Each structure stands twice: as structure tokens, then as C-alpha cells.
Chains A and B, each alone.
Chain A
Amino acid sequence: MKDIRKFQQMYRDGRMGRRDFMAALGALGVGTAAAAGFLTSAKALAATPQKGGTARYANNLHGPDDQMDPMVFTSGIDYTRGRATYNGLIQMVDGMVLAPELAEEWSANADATEYTFKIRKGVEFHDGSALTADDVAWTMSRHIGEESPSTAKALLAAITEWKVMDSHTVKAMLSSPDSDLPAKLTEKQMKIVKMGTEDFRKGNGTGPFVLESFEPGVRSTHVRNANYWREGANFDALEITGITDPLARANALIAGDVDLINQVNAKSIALVESSETARVISTPTSAYTGICILKNTAPGENDDFVKAMQYIQDRDRIVRSILKGHGTVGNDHPVGPAFGPDHCSELPIREFDPDKAKFHLDKSGVTAAELFVAPVRLGIEEISLLMQANLKKIGFDLTIRKVPSDGYWGAVWMKEPMNVVSWNMRPTANAQLAIQFAPHGNWNDTFWHNDRMGELLKAQLAETDEAKRHAMLCEMQTLVHNGSGMVIPAHVNEVDGASNKIHGIPTVPFGALGAYEWVEFAWMEA
């Protein structure tokens, strides 16, 4: 019965077709007629989202630095609250399709240097004031400029100005072409706030839920926005909290204390899967965790050393036994298969090869190295330890220095010659490459400055021919694969958990539980 429920769930979630469903039930010894009955009940559930209920969500991180200011959102709990409270101009729905949100429509000039956005009319903030072009321009202008603290400003670097054309039209003026701009505007930091907001903790947005209470590091409560501009959320209310311990989080889900969690770690996956009450939702993404080897200092300035560190990655075993299959093999460049056609599948995977690693290591003459490890993403410690163990087998002693994750980005990352890093999936392949590998960029964390890379990044944004775009993307991935100091052994899935009572979670790979879209679209079985 449990298996049948699981298959029904998969069918409802669209992870299983009708034919597969019937076959799977047949395999369980369920007769065709009975199987058809189960299919109908699954369909019925799929077809009729129910209103009501309080969804309780537990995030893996939270603390006094929980934010309600979208511009400096950095963690899943911020993104979730942001999705509940605010709206963006454009959103990403099932299957990575762009859909209008607060911008009813948008258009670009021929060379993609000027974008016009028509802002939806009749939208109200939670305080009752109307949304106008001024709010949009004010919000978006906050992301511009050297001094802007925006954590997403790299994506909008080409924008020089946001202009208010009339009460419901804004224009973005760009210094260089960017055909990816609409996709970039779906980022979690680009939520629209009221012009002139000083106290963000009130969460005055236009979103599907009104912020009722907000205690950073404890929890927040949200109630459905009765005045929402579209049909709106199914849940009556949300309770958002954090449970930092991975096992405790999984146990809370299984025991029914919470309905949704993010980051089911590899060791808890089987536990949740075998429970009667909850399930794992795993979405392939291009997010990755890996090792930065700085190219501007020893030992990384030696290309052979970097090669050795890349060949020593037992990529298949990492995906198989560390990620428990919830990931894809990485190829030392940041654009994973989750980017679909933008991923360069022509480039052969760099296979695990201890002999080649030893050859390059001997050639490099490096005899010792130190890797700084902080738990920046689940799995990275294990990956580092596997690397250390495999290096030991070829006679190289890698020292691991475990450091706390607080302060890591300021004190260790981009400073120590070898450190671990984690990057989330960006809205486009170009953005993913640009953030980390644009020559002399702010976040070029391996200090690999390649001029050709810079040219290609710019040219690809202006290119409209699909074949040429792909060729350029592929060349860039190959450049990074061969030249940078980045070791990317695996792309990690977004692995979250939900109670079996929760349905209708969209599939969007840019964050937890359908990139936080569950907030508005999921529903609860009464």
C-alpha cells in the first residue's frame, strides 16, 4: 500500500507517466482494474487543489541575520519568506519557463540594450497602497552601483538606469546587450518593495501572504493575502522556522511536526523515503560544491597541480555514495546538465585517474598542500575526505583544515590558496559562468583571468543565433575545464522533503521545493 501511495504521488507530481504507473502497479501484483482505480484517485487529487490548512516549513539555516530585505537575501529561509511576502517582475514556472508576474509584459529593443516593462495595474501592497512604476524603479535601482549591497548585483551589472516612463511603465537602460535580462529578473533578490522602505522587517510587499509576525532566528507566521492580485495561495497560513540539525529536521518531518523541509541530507534520504508520512523531492540542478585553487599563488599557479587535483576526484563514487545518486557528475566547469542544451555535452568528462593524478603531481613538484574546508554545502566535507584518502594512496599528504562557516566568505574564501566553495544555480548559463569566471570580476575566486573568456561572455549575450550561442557557451565551458583552478566533481540535486499530504509543488531547479514556488501553488490534503 505504501508503494502504491508512493507511485500515486509520483504520478501526481508528474514524475511518472500513466503507462509507467500502470506498469509499476502491475509489478506490485495489483490488477489492471484496481490499478485504474488508483490512477483515477491520483488524478482526482491532482486535479483539485484544496484550499486551507497551515503549512509549516523548516529550513536548514536561520539566525538573527534572517532578512526581510530582498536585496540582501542569502539563505533559503529568506527566499521562502520573500516568495510569500513579495512578488518579482517576472517569475520562473514549471520547466524553466518565464511567466509574467508584476510585469504584465516586457520587450527589448533590437540589440537588447533597452527593456520596457508594463507593470500590472490594480496591485496593492499589504499596507493598502497601490503598486506603481515608482516602486519598481526605486526597488530595482537599489541593485545598481559599486556601493550597492545587493547580493544579486552581478546579474544586473549592465544596467545603468531604471527610468519611470509613466505610472505603470519602466525602462531599463543597459550599457551593453543582455539577452538574458528577463531570466535574471526572476532571481530571489529582485522582489519589489515599497518605495522608500526603511523598516523591512514589516515585510510590506504585494505577495500572496501577509507577514503576521517575524522573529529572526525563531520563526515567522504569514496569513493569506485576501487582497491578492490573482487567485493566490491555497494555504490559509504559513509558519516558517528553522531546524539546523539535519537528522532532527528529517525526524521532525517524519513525525509530522512540520510539513515541508529543505536539504534532506544524503544520510536522511532513505529514512524519509521509507517513512509512511513523508517523501523526498529531488530536483537536478546545476548548483555545485567544489574546490577553488587560486591561480595567482602556490600551489595553484602550477597547472599540473590543478590537473592532479582534478584527476583525483572519484566523481562517480561521489555521486553514487556521497550524494546517494542525488547529483550529477561535474566536469570542472559550472554549467551542469541541468542547463539542458546550454550544457556542453560534447566535452568529455574528466574521469577519475589516480595514475594521471600522480603523473601531474610528480611533474608539479608540489609535496604538500592545505585545503580549508567549511560546511558551505552538504557533502563537501565528505568529498574533501575522499579526495584526501585517494591522494594518500598515491603518496600525497593533503592537510585538511576544518574551519567554521561563519566568517568563511570574508576570511578564507578567495584568500587561502585552496578552499571549498559552493555556488547556487544562476538563471542562465552565461550568468553562471560570468559570476565566477569573468576576468577580474568581483567573485573570480580562482583568480583565473582569461581574456578570451571575457570576450565570449559579452558576445554571447548579444548573440541571437542559437547555434552560435551554444558554440560560444561550449567554448567557455571548455576554457574553464582546461584552464581555471576550479575543481567541480559534482552538481548537487536540490533534495527537499514534504509530507505526503502536500501536493502540487512545482518543478523549478533554482531553489528549495520548486524554487520556493510551493508557497503559492502547493496545497494540503485535508
Chain B
Amino acid sequence: MTLLSALLRRTALGVATLFVVSVLIFVGTSILPGDVANIILGQMATPESLAALRTKLGLDEPAHIRYLIWLSDLLSGDLGFSKAGAGTGTVGTPISEMLMPRLINTIRLGGAVAIVAVPFAVTIGLLAAMYPGTRLDRFVTFTTLGLISVPEFLVATLLVLVIAVQLGWLPATAYISGQETGLKLVRALAMPALTLVIVASSQIMRMTRATVLNVMNSPYIEMAILKGVPRRRIILRHALLNAIGPIANVIALNLAYLVSGVVVVETIFAYPGLAKLMIDAVQTRDLPLVQACAMIFCATYIVLIFIADMVSILSNPRLRHPK
């Protein structure tokens, strides 16, 4: 019952957050210099031609009116049209049509990374926490720190140079058309996924180790130790259970990053995902497209964080039954 009411409450709050985000994004992109018409005409724009194109593309309404139109369209399930690619024609591209293949690509890549990175990182982090100060712990510490301190684009470029250009094992670009299946898809995803596994694992690993160590400091663990409960049991039953909340949060933030923040990797591997689409949309001032991406990112984030919070609450009896 508490779970259901929490779910309802969170959904309402989530919608409120979405609304806040849409307003923030709209205001943010409105203060950017130029609009779609500026971008389409670029260097060759004149005041007259800009005005004419704006009329044609329906951009001459005041900003707040355009926002309200967008909002009412959204509420009726219509994401609107991207006008950036319409030229001087009146027919734009439906945004849902642009988003779907990108969304699938993003989920594919993010999913591939998460499946590998999360269990791997949590296990290693836990091992390091079980044996702090040992050689294993030091090794894990040095390796993960060494790897996270390397910028993503350096990791990616080194992988391309060695694996694709020198050895020729995998393609240099992860370009996928959507028709790939099986091995072909794995090959296309392998390089960007590898780069992201390296980036995402390290933080999860570090935070798992730190949180578990923190819990080990708690009085009840001390009590358990004094009572002579076996070490493995203490870590797995007690420490881990209590560390789950913060770890879940870190994992959720990393998963959200895999959906929305991997623009560098998408650029280097020419992988058509959502993050790059949103950057492109901002750069072309394609407002409905920016908004649509932002809504997806925001919803993803809200859902992930909700799950993380639920996990924390369920794993901590005190949070489950607040006094």
C-alpha cells in the first residue's frame, strides 16, 4: 500500500519535474542567439529572407505562444515537427519519426554497457571493500582511478587506432542502420560499449567500495563482529544491504548518463543516439526537437531515480517505516 501511494506521489512529482524542465529548456534555448531560420540560412541570411522564412516555418509567433502551442500539442500526444530539415517547404519531419530509431540505438548501447558494467563494478567494488588495504584493493584502486582520469575521447581514439585501424578487428565507426542483427550488431556496438564500460564502471566501483566501508563502521556491524558472525555473512547480509541505497543512487545516475550524456562517444563513433541528437538540436535551435529529447531524458532520469529511491527504502527498514 505504501509502495502504491509512493508510486502515485512520485508520478505526480515526476510530471511536475517534467514541466519545470520544459520551461527551463524553453527559456534556455530562447536566450540563445539565433533561431532555426538563422541556422538554415547561415551566412547568407538577410533580414528580409529571415523574416520570410520565419513566417513560412511558423516561427514568427512570440516565444510564449509557441511554448503554449507545443505544450498543448504534447498533451494531445503530438511531439510536433522538426522544421530544420524542411528547407523552404512547409512539410517538416515528425519528431516521433526522428526520435524512435535514435531511442532504440541509445537503449541498445546503454543496455549493453549496463549489463556488463553494473554487475562487474559492484562485484569488484565489494571485493575491494571486503579486503581494504590489501594488494587486491590497491590494484583495483590504481586501475580504476587510472582509467577514470583518462578523458573519454582519448580512450575512444586509442581503441579506434589499435583495434580498428591497426588490427582491423572491429569497424572504426559504430554506424548502424537499424537492420543489423546478431554478430553484426555486436560488432558495431563493441567499441563504444567498451569505452563506456570503462567510464561507467569506475565510479560505481569506487562508490560501492566507499559505501560498504562506511557501513562497516556502524555500531550494529561492530555488534555483529563482536557476536562472532562470519565475515562474509556480515558483508553480504548486513553491510551490503545497508549500502544498497547509496549504491543504487550512483548506478541510477550512471544509467541516466548513459542515456543522455554520451555525446563524445556518439560523436567519435558516429553512433546515431539521442545525446548527439539533442546537441545537434540545440545547435540548430530546433526547439520542438530539443524539448522532445529533454522530456525523454527527464523521464528516464525520474524513473531511474524513483527505482533507486524505492530500492533504498525497501533495503532500509528505518526508511521503510519512518517515525
A interface residues (Cβ-Cβ under 8 A, vs B): 58, 63-69, 71-72, 74, 142, 146-154, 197-201, 215-219, 241-245, 247-248, 251-252, 254-255, 257-258, 404, 406-407, 409-411, 413, 422, 442-443
Contacts and interface: CB of A to CB of B under 8 A. Distances in A.
Contacts of A58: 270
Interface stretch (B31-39, B110-118, B221-229, B249-257): B31-39
Nearest to B32: A407
Given A151-B42, A241-B175, A406-B283, A64 B84 contact: yes
A198 B91 contact: yes
Given A200-B86, A255-B168, A410-B45, 8 more contacts: A71-B88, A72-B88, A149-B40, A149-B53, A218-B272, A245-B267, A252-B172, A255-B171
A276 to B, nearest CB: 11
Contacts of B165: 251, 254-255
B72 interface: no
Contacts of A72: 40-41, 53, 87-88
B270 A243 contact: yes
A326 B49 CA distance: 36
A63 B44 contact: no
Nearest to A271: B165
B160 A64 contact: no
Contacts of A243: 173, 270
A198 B284 CA distance: 21
B154 to A, nearest CB: 11
Given A64-B98, A146-B48, A404-B283, A201 B270 contact: no
B217 interface: no
Contacts of B78: none
A72 B89 CA distance: 10
B297 interface: no
16 contacts: A71-B88, A74-B40, A74-B42, A147-B52, A149-B37, A149-B49, A151-B44, A153-B49, A200-B89, A216-B93, A248-B269, A248-B270, A258-B173, A407-B34, A409-B43, A410-B38
Contacts of A413: 43
Contacts of A215: 98, 101
B162 to A, nearest CB: 11
Given A147-B49, A147-B51, A64 B85 contact: yes
A358 to B, nearest CB: 34
A69 B48 CA distance: 19
A406 B165 CA distance: 32
Contact of A197 (B89, B93, B277, B289): B89
Chain B interface category by residue count: 35 or more
Nearest to A258: B173
Chief secondary structure at chain A's binding surface: loop
Contacts of B38: 407, 409-410
A64 B280 contact: yes
B299 interface: no
B186 interface: no
Nearest to B87: A69
Contacts of A244: 267, 270
A195 B53 CA distance: 19
Given A68-B87, A201-B93, A217-B277, A409 B45 contact: yes
A185 B90 CA distance: 26
A409 B285 CA distance: 14
Cβ-closest 9 pairs across A and B? A69-B87, A411-B33, A216-B85, A151-B44, A199-B91, A406-B283, A407-B34, A147-B52, A255-B172
B85 A66 contact: yes
| Max count, chain B CB within 10 A of own CB: residue among A147, A258, A404 | A147
B21 interface: no
B96 interface: no
A202 to B, nearest CB: 9
A520 B51 CA distance: 37
Contacts of B272: 217-219
Nearest to A376: B43
B82 interface: yes
A510 B88 CA distance: 24
Contacts of A198: 89-91
B50 to A, nearest CB: 8
B32 to A, nearest CB: 6
| Max count, chain A CB within 10 A of own CB: residue among B34, B51, B85, B164 | B85
A218 B43 contact: no
| Max count, chain B CB within 10 A of own CB: residue among A146, A217, A219 | A217
Given A147-B49, A151-B41, A252-B270, A257 B173 contact: yes
A64 B87 contact: no
B286 interface: yes
Contact of A257 (B161, B172, B285): B172
Given A201-B91, A216-B84, A216-B93, A67 B52 contact: no
Nearest to B56: A149
Given A72-B88, A142-B88, A406 B44 contact: no
Nearest to B264: A245
A198 B53 CA distance: 14
Contacts of B267: 244-245, 248
Contacts of A199: 89-91
Given A149-B53, A255-B165, A217 B280 contact: yes
B270 A64 contact: no
Contacts of B53: 72, 149
Nearest to B283: A406
Interface string B51-67: 11100100000000000
A241 B45 CA distance: 26
B144 interface: no
Contact of B89 (A69, A217, A242): A69
B49 A148 contact: yes
B42 A409 contact: yes
Contacts of B48: 146-147
A247 B153 CA distance: 11
A409 B86 CA distance: 20
A198 B161 CA distance: 45
B157 interface: yes
Contacts of A442: 46
Contacts of A410: 33-34, 38, 45
A201 B160 contact: no
B281 interface: yes
Contacts of A216: 82, 84-85, 93, 98
A64 B289 contact: yes
Interface in B235-293: 267-270, 272, 277, 280-286, 289
